[in-house]
Structure 1
């Protein structure tokens, strides 16, 4: 039997054992398959070896189970989250047999809650919500990790700053291995320069100039097809892609601001009411797409690609996505980055991302905590392979720069599922990688965002009241869209503020300011 480079004998037998354990057929069929696979490769077979999950050399393979997000990734034909080249690579390098569960991103937190209540827990959970993490830590659901990290996590200790470890400590002990964000923000404005030129418009800078462009892109046939079928501005559901317009009024949703020596949540600032009033005006005049509350990311991308949208708040990587797709479809399309809209008081900017993007936690009952830390340490150590893909296959060095095979890069994006467990920013590698992906302005986009972040003044661990009231308060935010859609009047914002304070917001604010006082 011939084995390719990524299908070494140990990795091959590990994968076959995994498939056997996952299969729910009858015992005789499993035994027959085992006899065939192991017997044909080694010439002999012993049932007790299969039960001990040993490799042909007799070495046992510790097995661990992990729950991570699929990040919306897809796998090449014939592969899945438990059988693919990058997971096989990790298993072969660590000697671990890894069982992977990837709940759908849309219901990820709900699935985690079900697992926690069932008691049938994996060895590792990767979670994203700090309030969720905080809630279960306080219930004693997770193992403290200090000794394990000291013994098995040298690369984790080296690559994750001390101040970040402090943010996952409770009672002086570490309860999570954090995964970090490479970027500090996401959104920046892009517009079609060819549409601006056709209508005799300059790239907008102020909010008033943005209003003029949005109006023209809606009503003045910017694509020249004789039809009024273009959209001046659109968002996605839950006010996604709206951050620059709140920034023009000096606010951001779910962000804490310093006001008169104390911290105040942006959701209840008068400036947020101003922003909602501006957006409601756009909607009333037909300049903000009517369907925006229904837009998922895929809907937005389709409209951009098909030339129906000429101005929107892009992510830093959209130039390689829907914008590139539109220019491929329409050779005359030309997109440019814009300055952020500057509001009536000279304010502008977008929300910032927290430095921690995820938390790796080990349930208290896990018997394989050491193996989990070894896995996470390997990912931190072999960061480059998992981030870029296999060298000399997906990428290679040429004249001192990284050259990427785009087709293979895109086909193997699923590797990010595993790499994202422990993201450890590397600025040099980050720029080299982005530059290698082509002339999409990716690195410059990120620099533009970094210079316009409106910082969140609260960066501590979730307070007790956040864990108690956050879900209820999140539901109250529906009123923002209703105000924009004119289902509710603008003054409904004042009622929202009163309800927000009454339903736990006041208590959260007191705790946040208690934290803030200790930082000064």
Structure 2
């Protein structure tokens, strides 16, 4: 897996706040787990658990609502504990967690999506080692996650994190205006060359009859600067495992300057720009809002976004487009065919967030018992959906929401209630086909479209190489290199075609000098160490 993180320094006071992680409240080395009938510990304890505050209008008290009451009425009573939720602003979660960790005040169960942050805590000695406690208190938990997910929480051969399980692995899709294709009598493009020719037709014939037509909508966003799936069409299919691991160490939708074929993908985008085929203000549309508006207003012929992007209620791209342009139709397509006639798509790794337990915690055993309790399918079903017959009805084995969890104390501030059901990053019904059906049902009015989009998004799926050894050089240089990559892409895409090759070499050399080479060298070193070479 790639390690793409901002450079972070954790205060040395993490170590000062560390205490023994020996379980408290255990009786004769044993404690009640969900799989045993042992009585609850006599000593009442308070387990603190992080919860994201997403600032959703109308959200209930995050420490006192329908879901927290269910947790305390069930897990709390069974284990003689009170579960207290500590809210952390979603947009500032890393900064806030760093402060709490440095002060030795982080919740017993904390989490982040940032592997580099976890790695830094491990290096500072700030996390509890979980191998023995997982074996003793987490049988249901370890069975649910399996080795393929748990390995993402191992550092230096030891388990320091419990990764959540990602149930949807699709990354992005390319969408196109099918009504424009139909109007021009054009087939769905299946190669990069066909896609380019289709964009030329969109520009010249303007099937939408709009002012300022944009054949291919594109936004260069500094957080993840890249070219979407375009590089898939130019990357050789015969890379060795070592080349794949060290030359494409991060998601392909981000800039991979050493990856074979990436220069060709840049040339392709440059050609499109100079032909007037992409968003003219792509470099300044840093949050993608201008692109969303252009799509919604019917100006854009094709674009790339999350696999389900158009069907989401926010920003409501498809709904707004249909309202503004009656008869407009978007479909996902597969134009980035490689030299093996495949349409590879770099999706997400099977792990979700990184759940961690600070070494300062006195409740390491209870924290694992909590996660073990949550891994029970019945608990997962309730936390993600609520009460059957009230909050949802089961239709063909799939829960169909009634709308009661949209407001009030039952409000879910995020889909599938994943801020409370932290083990499952996505709907979890114990069967992938049921999961897919449930996922599609989560887009009212677009159920069939979403189901098809998920299918397209998983065609020739793969994920990045899994590194058990984090890349410290990447953690140190990542923020600077991302900013530099965004600047490089902006310059290269707008450059004169004849100057792209020489400019590419000059800028990549600068990138390597400013940290890129150090990052790549460490990937090579880590790959060899991991594989005993």
Report the TM range for the smaller structure's normalisation. 0.7 to 0.9
How far did 1:349 drift?
A: 2.6
The Cα of 1:275 is off from its aligned counterpart by 0.8
Cα distance in 2 between the residues matched to 1:315 and 1:261: 24
Q: Does 1:477 pair with 2:462?
A: no
Native 8 Å contact 1:463 1:511 kept in 2: no
Instruction: Go from structure 1 to structure 2 and tell me whether the alpha carbon gap of 1:247 and 1:261 turns closer, same or farther (over 3 Å shift).
Output: closer
Distance 1:421 1:480, change over 3 A: farther
Compared CA separation, residues 347 and 476, structure 1 to 2 (3 A): farther
Is 1:65 equivalent to 2:32 in the alignment? no
1:79-107 per-position Cα deviation (integer Å, ceiling 9, x unaligned): 143333223322322223322222233x4
Q: Supply the distance in 1 between the matched residues of 2:466 and 2:511 (Cα, whole angstroms).
A: 18
The correspondence of residues 139-288 of structure 1 with structure 2, limited to 5 A, is 139-170=124-155, 172-225=157-210, 227-235=211-219, 237-238=221-222, 242-250=227-235, 258=241, 263-265=246-248, 266-288=256-278
Change (3 A) 1:460 1:403: closer
Looking at structure 2, the residues matched to 406 and 235 of structure 1 have their Cα atoms a distance apart, in angstroms, of 37
Distance 1:211 1:498 in 2: 29
Is 1:401–1:432's contact at 8 Å kept on the other side of the alignment? no
SS of residue in 1 equivalent to 2:419: helix
1:374 and 2:364 correspond: no
From the two aligned structures, give the one with the greater helix fraction: 1
How many Å separate the matches in 2 of 1:157 and 1:282? 49
Correspondence for 2:70 among 86, 89, 92? 89
Matches within 5 A, 1:75-474: 77=58, 79-95=60-76, 96-105=82-91, 107-170=92-155, 172-225=157-210, 227-235=211-219, 237-238=221-222, 242-250=227-235, 258=241, 263-265=246-248, 266-293=256-283, 294-296=285-287, 298-321=289-312, 322-342=317-337, 346=341, 348-381=343-376, 382-398=379-395, 400-402=396-398, 404-405=400-401, 407-408=403-404, 412-414=411-413, 415-423=417-425, 426=430, 427-437=432-442, 438=444, 439-474=447-482
Please give the alpha-carbon distance, in whole angstroms, between the structure 1 residues aligned to 2:397 and 2:155.
Answer: 44
How many residues are treated as equivalent by the alignment? 453
Higher RCO by CA contacts (8 Å cutoff, separation 6 or greater): 2
Give TM-score scaled by structure 1 length. 0.76
**Which runs of no fewer than 5 residues in structure 1 stay unpaired?**
1-58
Distance 1:150 1:191, change over 3 A: same
Hey, what does 1:49 align to over in structure 2? none
TM-superposed deviation, 1:159: 0.3
1:495 has 2:495 as partner? no
Q: CA deviation at 1:126?
A: 0.5
TM-score, normalised with respect to structure 2: 0.75
Q: How has the CA–CA distance of structure 1 residues 197 and 429 changed in structure 2, closer, same or farther, with 3 Å as cutoff? A: closer
User: Partners in 2 of 1:61 and 1:292 — Cα distance?
Assistant: 57
Q: Which residue of structure 2 aligns with residue 509 of structure 1?
A: 523
Per-residue deviation at 1:358? 1.6
Following TM superposition, by how much is the alpha carbon of 1:259 offset from its aligned partner in structure 2, in angstroms? Answer: 6.2
Q: Unaligned stretches of 5+ in structure 2?
A: 1-41, 77-81, 249-255
SS at match of 1:358: strand
CA, structure 1 residues 251+234, in 2 after alignment: closer, same or farther (shift >3 Å)?
Answer: farther
CA distance in 2, matches of 1:67, 1:478: 33
Could you tell me how far 1:145 is from its partner in structure 2? 1.8
Whichever of the two has the greater Rg, that structure is 1
Q: 1:358 to 1:495 in 2, by over 3 A?
A: farther
Q: 1:166–1:194: structure 2 CA closer, same or farther, 3 Å change rule?
A: closer
Cα distance between partner residues in 2 of 1:337 and 1:497? 33
Find the residue that maps to 1:391 and give its secondary structure.
coil
